[in-house]
Amino acid sequence: MASYKKEKGVVWDWLTTVDHKKLGIMYLIAGTLFFLKAGLMAVFMRIQLIMPENSFLTGQTFNEFITMHGTIMLFLAATPLLFAFMNFVIPLQIGARDVAFPFVNALGFWIFLSGGLLLSTSWFFGGGPDAGWTAYVPLSLNEEQLGLDFYVLGLQVSGIGTLISAINFLVTIINMRAPGMTMMRLPLFVWTSFVTSTLILFAFTPLAAGLALLMLERIFDAQFFNPAAGGNVVIWQHIFWIFGHPEVYILVLPAFGIISEVIPAFSRKRLFGYTAMVFATMIIAFLGFMVWAHHMFTVGIGPVANSIFAIATMTIAVPTGIKIFNWLFTMWGGKITFNTAMLFASSFVPTFVLGGVTGVMLAMAPVDYLYHDTYFVVAHFHYIIVGGIVLALFAGLFYWYPKMFNHKLNEKLGVVFFILFTIGFHLTFFVQHFLGLMGMPRRVYTYLGGQGLDEFNMISTIGTFFMSAAVIVLVINIVYSAIKGERVIGINDPWDARTLEWATPTPVPEYNFAQTPQIRSLDPLFYEKVHGDGTMKPAEPVDDIHMPNGSILPVIISIGLYFLGFGLIMLEMAEPIVSPWIVVALGGLLTFGGMAMRSLKDDHGYHIPKSVVKADLKKLGGGK
């Protein structure tokens, strides 16, 4: 058959890879860098707010920081970090050799990255966007601010990457499941990723449309929103939140999935109420689309609309409550191991409940007139985002780290990290509830002294220092563990866990499973440990394995999109060095040329010969 793989240089290998595991690690690294960047901005903002009338940052810089912090955290940190785990884990958990379209997977990563870099380029051209991550018109129509053009085009580009990755996950989960892996045997992380991908499919499309309208209005002088020209500013808010509310569920559902993996693994019990969990996920997803106007209670859409959206919002508490109780019942009576992953996962539950409670408070439309645009809102969504999503990400990091990097993270440093982070998190955000109730507005760069706000702001900022220390401990942990951490090479299943990813050898071979496994139950590995000999039964004989070729085209197509976006932004620059249209044409050439190349050239991949697979099986153990 086809020729066996040629050796490649390390850099070239990573640039051209279409392997879902390597892409997962690349998402993890890119997401972490963006997370650190946005986190640093948060620290700077908190230092500015440490005392009244501070002048550490100017108002303008502060506005740019809140905007970039929020935008980066949501689109370029949380999303790719979740995608990192989705990429790495989903194929392993469903018994597949890769995602359905490995090339598209690589393309998704590189397009996301080039969009993120395009947004970040704004710092070199007069400063970042400054209209908040919601970019409300007419504020975001300000022609002076080039940063907003970077916002519009950066998000547009990175959104394409997110969208195609999501479609890829959908096709993968539908088509690539191993024999016996029925939909109702999918691990909950796969289920929530599936539903999240559906949400991305239906929510990122309105976002793309909205951003396109904003781009037309800013760069090409269209008049959709400008009231002076008969436009309607409220339409932007609707479009934004029709995307924006589902977006929060896009982020939190995979986080729920991670928690639903970690808690059963370390409670030594199957997940309580699996079916209820699956349907609760779907109900949350559906309701997530029907509540967007709860962000607009104070706009004046009328009492009837406000009431309908208030009640719809509160309904979401029901399926979410089902989930909370199921996690509690999973832990109930379990033999719990409190390692770092489990500490994060179990502390997720009460923290998320706190965020949920303030969510229901905010859903009461009449009272929202008091909370709106105060620090109460900031406290609420950080309890969801940090107390929910980020805690789940840390749990997932410690849980899946051995599979991804062949060694564990240090547990002692992990516990220190957990304690510092928990203290810091609650110090920072708990007092912000009170700041909000006292009337401190959000997105304002300073405040007057002597209004009772001073102490709480001081406490909040000190909390941030604890969180920063915690993140530094995490970084030390990663470096330390890389050198000295407990190796798990040859140990497939270091946690004695339940799901299929732990049946693959460590390090995971590039084809994942030498033989596609036969799935006989929910928690398939656990089933084999109890009813079989602890290894998965193969569903096929050892044979040649067909693998996709790597390709540099995703990088080229993404570079093209970067220049396409940048060229369009140059149209707004006062004195561009070259004609913007040249840059647009160059970008278009790269992008569409790359796409044409991919379409016209046949690429059938290569085969790993049976002999090599057999040798690997002997060396690595794994399936028999």
Partner 1 sequence: MADDHLSKPFEKSSLTEAEKREMKRDIKKQFVVFILLLFLTVLAFVAVGADLIPNNFAVPFILILAIVQLLLQLLFFMHMKDKDHAWATVFMITGIFVTMPTIVALMLLIGVVKY
Point out which residues bind Cu ion (CB under 5 A): 245
Site for partner 1 contains 513 (CB under 8 A) = no
479: amino acid identity, one letter = V
Which of residues 276 and 462 has its CB atom nearest to ligand HEM in the complex?
462
Binders of ligand HEM among residues 247 to 266 (CB under 6 A) are none
Contact of residue 464 among Cu ion, partner 1, ligand HEM, none (CB under 5-8 Å per partner type): ligand HEM
Which residue is closest to Cu ion by CB?
245
Task: Please report how close the Cβ of residue 602 comes to partner 1 at its closest, in angstroms.
Answer: 5
Contact of residue 408 among partner 1, Cu ion, ligand HEM, none (CB under 5-8 Å per partner type): none
Site for partner 1 contains 242 (CB under 8 A) = yes
Distances in Å between the Cα of 524 and the Cα atoms of 1, 209, 320, 527 are 34, 42, 27, 5
Distances in Å between the Cα of 192 and the Cα atoms of 86, 231, 370, 499 are 10, 39, 34, 15
Using the rule CB under 6 A, give the single segment among 52-60, 73-81, 225-233, 319-327 that binds ligand HEM: 73-81
Site for ligand HEM contains 69 (CB under 6 A) = yes
Distances in Å between the Cα of 580 and the Cα atoms of 37, 66, 512, 587 are 29, 30, 46, 11
Residue 260 CA to its chain's centroid (Å): 17
Contact of residue 67 among ligand HEM, Cu ion, partner 1, none (CB under 5-8 Å per partner type): ligand HEM
Using the rule CB under 6 A, give the single segment among 66-74, 187-195, 477-485, 494-502 that binds ligand HEM: 66-74
Contact of residue 289 among Cu ion, partner 1, ligand HEM, none (CB under 5-8 Å per partner type): partner 1
Which of residues 245 and 407 has its CB atom nearest to Cu ion in the complex?
245
> What whole-number distance in Å separates Cα of residue 190 and Cα of residue 93?
8
Stretch 478-517: interaction string toward ligand HEM, x if CB under 6 A? ----------------------------------------
Binders of partner 1 among residues 288 to 347 (CB under 8 A) are 289-290, 293, 301, 305
Q: Which residues pair with 441 in a beta bridge?
A: 374
> What whole-number distance in Å separates Cα of residue 327 and Cα of residue 280?
13
Contact of residue 606 among ligand HEM, partner 1, Cu ion, none (CB under 5-8 Å per partner type): partner 1
Interacting residue with ligand HEM among 268, 426, 442, 537 (CB under 6 A) = 442
Q: Residue 493 in contact with residue 525, Cβ under 8 Å?
A: yes
Interacting residue with ligand HEM among 24, 31, 39, 622 (CB under 6 A) = 39
Interacting residue with partner 1 among 122, 162, 198, 460 (CB under 8 A) = 198
Site for partner 1 contains 604 (CB under 8 A) = yes
Q: Residue 573 in contact with residue 125, Cβ under 8 Å?
A: yes
Concatenating the DSSP letter of every residue in 243-259 gives HHHHHHHHHHHHHHHHH
Dihedral sign of CA atoms 266, 87, 388, 246 in order = negative
Q: Which residues pair with 407 in a beta bridge?
A: 487
Task: Please report how close the Cβ of residue 191 comes to ligand HEM at its closest, in angstroms.
Answer: 22
Q: Residue 48 in contact with residue 56, Cβ under 8 Å?
A: yes
| Preceding omega of 187 cis (within 30 degrees of 0) | no
Interacting residue with ligand HEM among 63, 67, 140, 346 (CB under 6 A) = 67
Q: Could you give the residue ranges of the DSSP H alpha helices within 485-515? A: none
Closest CA to 110 of 597, 590, 604: 590
| 570 phi, psi to nearest 5 deg | -60, -25
> What whole-number distance in Å separates Cα of residue 301 and Cα of residue 165?
36
Task: Please report how close the Cβ of residue 470 comes to ligand HEM at its closest, in angstroms.
Answer: 9
Tokens in use for 189?
């992380």
The length of the chain in residues reads 624
Residue recorded with tokens 């640039």:
15
Stretch 376-395: interaction string toward ligand HEM, x if CB under 6 A? --x---x--xx---x-----
Which of residues 301 and 314 has its CB atom nearest to partner 1 in the complex?
301
Using the rule CB under 8 A, give the single segment among 7-15, 141-149, 602-610, 612-620 that binds partner 1: 602-610
Contact of residue 568 among partner 1, ligand HEM, Cu ion, none (CB under 5-8 Å per partner type): none
Task: Please report how close the Cβ of residue 282 comes to partner 1 at its closest, in angstroms.
Answer: 10
Using the rule CB under 6 A, give the single segment among 61-69, 236-244, 540-548, 571-579 that binds ligand HEM: 61-69
Contacts with 583 (C-beta within 8 Å, 6 or more apart), sequence order:
563, 566, 567, 570
435-441-444-448 Cα dihedral, nearest 10 degrees: -60
Task: Please report how close the Cβ of residue 76 comes to ligand HEM at its closest, in angstroms.
Answer: 10
> What whole-number distance in Å separates Cα of residue 62 and Cα of residue 42?
10
Site for ligand HEM contains 467 (CB under 6 A) = yes
Contact of residue 335 among partner 1, Cu ion, ligand HEM, none (CB under 5-8 Å per partner type): none
Interacting residue with ligand HEM among 313, 428, 477, 591 (CB under 6 A) = 428
Establish how many alpha carbons lie within 13 A of residue 332's alpha carbon, considering only the half-sphere containing its beta carbon.
Answer: 9
Site for ligand HEM contains 78 (CB under 6 A) = yes
Q: Is 388 exposed, middle or buried (0-12, 13-18, 19+ CB in 10 A)?
A: buried
Residue 549 Rama label (left phi>0; alpha psi -120 to 50; beta):
beta
In eight-state DSSP terms, residue 200 is: H
Using CB under 8 A, list all residues that contact partner 1: 1-3, 170, 174, 198, 201-202, 232, 234-235, 238, 242, 286, 289-290, 293, 301, 305, 602, 604, 606
Residues that bind ligand HEM (CB under 6 A): 39, 42, 45-46, 66-67, 69-70, 73-74, 77-78, 132-134, 378, 382, 385-386, 390, 428, 442-443, 464, 467
